[in-house]
Amino acid sequence: MSDDSRSARLADHLPEYLIEALCLGLFMVSAGLFSTALEAQASWLRTAVPDGGARRALAGLAMGLTAVGLIYSPWGRRSGAHMNPAVTLAFLRLKRMRSLDALAYIFAQFTGGLAGVFVARLLLGARFTSPPVSWVLTLPGAAGLLVAFVAEAAISAGLMYTVLRVSASPRHAAWTGVAAGALIALYVTFEAPLSGMLAAFVDLFHCPGAGDAGRCPNAAAADRAYGVCQAGAYAPRALHTLRF
Domain boundaries, the chain: 3-241
CB 31 within 8 A of CB 117: no
pLDDT on residue 157: 85
Task: Give residue 83's region: left, alpha or beta (phi > 0; psi -120 to 50).
Answer: left
Q: Which amino acid is at 223?
A: D
* CATH number, domain 3-241: 1.20.1080.10
Is the Cα dihedral 234, 37, 210, 103 positive or negative? positive
- The DSSP line for 99-154 is HHHHHHHHHHHHHHHHHHHHHHHHHHTHHHHSTTTGGG-----TT-HHHHHHHHHH
Cα separation, 138 vs 128, whole angstroms: 14
How far does Cα 145 stand from its chain's mean position? Answer: 20
pLDDT for the residue numbered 21: 95
CA 10 to chain centre: 24
pLDDT for res 134 = 87
DSSP state letter for 173: G
Q: How many residues in total does the chain contain? A: 244
pLDDT tens digits in sequence order for the chain, 244 residues long: 566 677 887 888 899 999 999 999 999 999 999 999 999 998 999 999 999 999 999 999 999 999 999 999 999 999 999 888 888 988 898 888 999 999 999 999 999 999 999 999 999 999 999 998 988 877 778 888 888 888 888 888 888 889 889 998 999 999 999 999 999 999 999 998 888 765 444 444 343 433 333 444 444 444 444 444 444 454 544 444 444 5
Task: State the pLDDT at residue 69.
Answer: 97
Q: Are 212 and 219 spatial neighbours (Cβ–Cβ below 8 Å)?
A: yes
- Rounded to whole angstroms, the Cα distance separating 150 from 230 reads 11
Residue 20, Cα to own-chain centre: how many angstroms?
A: 12
Q: Which of 175, 146, 148 is nearest to 162 (CA)?
A: 175
Dihedral angle computed from the Cα positions of residues 57, 234, 9 and 109, in that order, rounded to the nearest 10 degrees: 40
**What does the DSSP 8-state code read for residue 211?**
T
